[in-house]
Amino acid sequence: MKRLLTFLIVFTLMFSLSTAKICAFENAFEQDSSSGDSGFGDENTSSLEFSGSLEYKIRSILDKKSDSDLSYPINSEAELELGLDYSRDNSDIKATLAFDDNGDVALDEAFIRLYYDDFDLEAGKMKVVWGKGDKLHVVDNLNGEDLTDFINPEYLDRQIAENMVKLNYYLGTGKLEAVYTPEFTANKLDREGDWMLSKVSKMKELKPIAVKEFGLTDALEIEDSLAGDESNEFKDGQLALRYTNSKGGYDYGFSIYQGRLKNLSMDKSAIAKLEKGVYRDSQAFLNDLDLHYDEVTVLGAELSSVLFGINSRGELAYYLTDDRNGDDPTVHNNKLAWIIGGDRDLALHNVNVNLQVKSELILDKDKVDDNPADIDYSEDYFTNMMVLKVSDDFNNQRILPEVSLMYNLESQDYILDNQLEFIVKDDTSIKFNYKLFQGDGDTLFGQFDENDYISMVVNYEF
């Protein structure tokens, strides 16, 4: 009820503001139409622009060579992105289409923006990124992520566009953003290929057990359910507010998000019962498994400034779930998460060093420690991930070497990415990568220990 009331209030405000402006605009149009003048004059100018990119990728996973001829498998793909931007003085439409070499076409983004004196109104399929972190965030919660290629693509490329309505209201130097999404899209995980998470692999191992107990049809139903899906029920909508401003050399912001966590939660004790042959039908198992996405409220703060010559940035978030006491094994505990970091140019050629640390602290861990069936059960309830990037440029920024390291301090697993980009022309680049995964098999990065790869990406912008 509270969420419904909040949504109605925000929607009413949006609608009232929009209606007032539109009515005034229509009145002006009606007054001028009698004289044969449209009332727009030169202000009704419009323009249509096309842009896009053609990208060709080649990748070879080095640890999956053939034992017979010692050759390495090569995967290649081409992708065309076509952007459309139609602008008028008081509105514009933006859309992006993605074409792959399988002939599939996807609508990546498509939305309309209406401009008024004190606010903008946007509606459509959008990607909205909040926070001051550099491609690393704890207050950015609106869009799910496509993790079918793990975290190899850039942060924005992993975001899944969501249907939403967004109000941008300008208050002096400040900006208030209000977002409502009628639907919810969860993270998309790889279910068959090289980048299938170990937890997904463990879920798929239930299939032979389910086939034995219930038959193939019911086993496939269970497998589909474990994959999760997007929801279009009203109760699964998302609502978020964010206020940002600048003062005294500091850029700051505060936000609140009401929605759901993007990964599935469940009652893991049902899996043990399935392995023991307790259930007589698949539906009873699914009912006990209680697949769901936890409701969550995220209170966030963000800050950036230049401190001691360092472009400093930080984010802080408190995740509040329904498990207020931490003793519900099927719902994630509350947690604190934060990012602290910055970058600085060194007095050594054109070297830039960028360091960020992302930390998470799961609260009430004493309620989880002795319960392996708890969704939060883990060896580490306080985790820290360091992201270090060192970059340089040569030949007037046409040769761009970069080395980056993502390292989990507690589990000691990491990704080492070595990249060299050549700007052949202003619109054409060639990028070479060697990416190394290391760690134990049950760690986030170590599970892909056999997925070290080299790649080449040719990109043409138009």
Q: Is residue 403 helix, strand or coil? A: strand
8 A C-beta contact, residue 462 and residue 427: yes
* CB contact burial 298-331 (16+ within 10 A = b; e otherwise): bebbbebbeeeeebbbbbbbbbbbebeebebbbb
Phi and psi at residue 86, to the nearest 5°: -110, 120
User: What residues does 247 pair with on adjacent strands?
Assistant: 250
Q: CB 267: neighbour CB atoms within 10 A?
A: 20
Report the half-sphere exposure of 44 (CA within 13 A, side-chain side).
7
- pLDDT at position 25 is 42
Which residues lie below 8 Å from residue 79, measured CB to CB, with a gap of 6+?
54, 55, 57, 98, 99, 100, 101
| Plot region of 215 (φ>0 → left; ψ -120 to 50 → alpha; else → beta) | left
How many Å apart are CA 324 and CA 66, to the nearest integer?
52
Question: What angle (nearest 5°) sits at the alpha carbon of residue 192, between those of residues 145 and 441?
Answer: 80
How many Å apart are CA 158 and CA 298, to the nearest integer?
21
How many Å apart are CA 48 and CA 94, to the nearest integer?
10
Residue with tokens 């978030």, as numbered in its chain: 317
- pLDDT at position 67 is 57
How many Å apart are CA 34 and CA 31, to the nearest integer?
6
Please give the chain's pLDDT, 462 residues, in tens. Answer: 445 444 444 444 444 444 444 444 444 444 444 444 433 344 456 789 999 999 999 999 998 765 555 567 899 999 999 999 999 999 999 999 999 988 889 999 999 999 999 999 999 999 999 999 999 999 999 999 999 999 999 999 999 999 999 999 999 999 999 999 999 999 999 988 899 999 999 888 999 999 999 999 999 888 888 877 655 565 789 999 999 999 999 999 999 999 999 999 999 999 999 999 999 999 999 999 999 999 999 999 999 999 999 999 999 999 999 999 999 999 999 999 999 999 999 999 999 999 999 999 999 999 999 899 999 999 999 999 999 999 999 999 999 999 999 999 999 999 999 999 999 999 999 999 999 999 999 999 999 999 999 999 999 999
Phi and psi at residue 431, to the nearest 5°: -125, 130
Tokens of 205: 């191992």
User: What residues does 52 pair with on adjacent strands?
Assistant: 82
Comparing CA positions, the residue from 323, 263, 255 lying closest to residue 291 is 263
- pLDDT at position 65 is 64
8 A C-beta contact, residue 210 and residue 220: no
Phi and psi at residue 303, to the nearest 5°: -155, 140
- pLDDT at position 249 is 96
Q: Is residue 239 helix, strand or coil? A: strand
Q: CB 257: neighbour CB atoms within 10 A?
A: 23
Which residues lie below 8 Å from residue 72, measured CB to CB, with a gap of 6+?
60, 61, 62, 64, 65, 66
Which residues lie below 8 Å from residue 138, measured CB to CB, with a gap of 6+?
131, 300, 315, 316, 317, 337, 338, 339, 358
Beta strands in 346-427 (DSSP E): 352-362, 382-391, 399-408, 414-425
Report the half-sphere exposure of 386 (CA within 13 A, side-chain side).
12
Q: 165-168 — which CB contacts under 8 Å span 24+ positions?
A: 165/11, 165/14, 165/121, 165/122, 165/123, 166/121, 166/122, 166/123, 166/126, 166/128, 167/10, 167/13, 167/14, 167/17, 167/119, 167/120, 167/121, 167/122, 168/119, 168/120, 168/121, 168/122
- pLDDT at position 68 is 57
Question: What angle (nearest 5°) sits at the alpha carbon of residue 130, between those of residues 124 and 134?
Answer: 125
- pLDDT at position 12 is 46
Q: CB 335: neighbour CB atoms within 10 A?
A: 21
Beta strands in 18-118 (DSSP E): 46-61, 74-88, 91-100, 105-115
